[in-house]
Amino acid sequence: MKTLRVAVVGVTGAVGQEMLRILEERNFPVGELKPLASERSRGKKVIFQGEEIPVGVLQRESFKGIDIVLFSAGASVSREFAPCAASSGCVVIDNSSAFRQEEDIPLVVPEVNPHRVRDYKNRFIIANPNCTTIITLVPLKPLHDYGKIKRVVAASYQATSGAGAQAMRELEKQVRFYVEGKELVSSVFPYQIAFNLIPQIDVFLDNGYTKEEMKMVWETRKIMEAPEIRVTATCVRVPVFRAHSVAVNIETERKITQEKARELLSQAPGVQVFDNPERRQYPMPLYVAGKDECFVGRIREDISCENGLNLWIVGDQLRKGAALNAIQIAELLLKENLL
């Protein structure tokens, strides 16, 4: 089997570490790994396939001889270094928001729009969507194919993992300090996150929505190739370590009964139906963390809308919402002989 020279940018962060685990788990054909991070990680090492590998400091010249680069750093890092990697002949899969809205850069969820990976040749960059968008659209795609979605109303309950490793540590520290009777200090989040909800993720825009909420609007339309879909969202940070949850209401042109929805979803790739109200069975972050699928439950017809349907969707933000989706894109490129 052909092996590839793979670089991971931001390798010491939460998503970067998850990328290494998934590359190993899925036996991705890594012939050579080049872990990269900022100056702060100088001297650190990562373990991959039983070997300790020194972390290199990210530079513009870091990509020579590399076949594929997985970016898991912030948007500013991607904007500066992803074009350098692309100009070196690498295929870039970028997990940040830097390129998602650019028309000539594909925004890909393999279960939803796999054909778009071929468009990477425009600029040799493929964008990985927002974590909540990915987790929401994997189950919505089969419903859209059957009934054509007209409108989406989403309320997300997003884990601290979405804000990175430091955010997860802040939640853990605040819970510990609460139990010990110590003062709770917030540095990552604007308010205490332990035992609290924060109805703001990212900055507010002029229309009153946050940037995170508008990402779901913009990205849904682009990925589904349906600019006419009306989307509204409210995104909330919750005191959970891993796995985002989304309460979704859709309106479709063709009615979808709850029985038909369960049938469609049970056959969809990347989806796990877990929906038995009589036994109190429904997806929860506690059980979905560490899983690859998007779990769907609380499937029911909307009693306020003739062609409405309600869903409760939960997915691991670090895996399907970030690292796994990026690696699935890389696998798709291999399958299509595009590397």
Residue of 90, 131, 235, 294 marked active site: 131
Rounded CA gap, 237 and 130, in Å?
15
Closest CA to 332 of 28, 15, 10: 28
For residue 339, the model assigns a pLDDT of 83
Complete DSSP assignment for 254-273: S---HHHHHHHHHTSTTEEE
104-117 burial, b at 16+ Cβ within 10 Å, e below that, comes to ebbbbbbbbbbebb
Tell me the backbone φ, ψ of residue 337, rounded to 5 degrees. Answer: 55, 45
**Domains along the chain with CATH numbers:** 4-129+322-335 (3.40.50.720), 132-317 (3.30.360.10)
CA dihedral 293, 195, 155, 291 (to 10 degrees): 0
In the predicted model, is pLDDT for residue 72 greater than 90? Answer: yes
User: Is 131 noted as a catalytic residue in this protein?
Assistant: yes
**Residues in contact with 102: Cβ distance below 8 Å, sequence separation at least 6, in sequence order:** 127
pLDDT band at 1 (very low <50, low <70, confident <90, very high): low
| Rounded distance between C-alpha atoms, residue 215 and residue 143, angstroms | 21
Over residues 187-202, the mean pLDDT reads 97
How many residues appear in the chain? 339
Average pLDDT, the chain: 97
Single-letter amino acid code for the residue at 290: G
Catalytic residue of the set 90, 144, 235, 244: 244
Three-state secondary-structure class, residue 169: helix
Kindly give the residue spans of alpha helices, DSSP state H, lying in 203-299. 211-224, 258-266, 285-288
Closest CA to 96 of 119, 69, 77: 77
Task: Decide if pLDDT at 114 tops 80.
Answer: yes
pLDDT at 315: 98
Which residue, 91, 48, 97, 100, is CA-closest to 72? 97
CA 311 to chain centre: 19
pLDDT at 238: 98
Report the share of the chain in percent with pLDDT over 70.
100
Does position 165 have pLDDT exceeding 90, yes or no? no
Question: What is the percent of the chain with per-residue pLDDT over 90, rounded to a whole number?
Answer: 97
- pLDDT surpassing 90 at residue 5: yes
Close Cβ partners of 195 (under 8 Å, ≥ 6 residues apart): 178, 239
What per-residue confidence (pLDDT) applies to 258? Answer: 97
For the question of residue 244 being annotated catalytic, the response is: yes
Structure token digits, residue 25: 């788990």
Q: What is the mean pLDDT of residues 25-49?
A: 96
Output the CA angle 84-89-93, nearest 5 degrees. 70
Average pLDDT over residues 298-302: 98
Window from 127-131, 162-166, 167-171 with minimum mean pLDDT = 162-166
Judge whether residue 2 has pLDDT over 90.
no
Q: Give the pLDDT score at 181.
A: 97
pLDDT at 94: 98
CB atoms within 10 A of CB 164: 16
Q: Tell me the per-residue pLDDT of 218-266, one tens digit each, with 9 for 90 and over.
A: 999 999 999 999 999 999 999 999 999 999 999 999 999 999 999 999 9
Check: CB of residue 23 under 8 Å from CB of residue 327.
Answer: yes
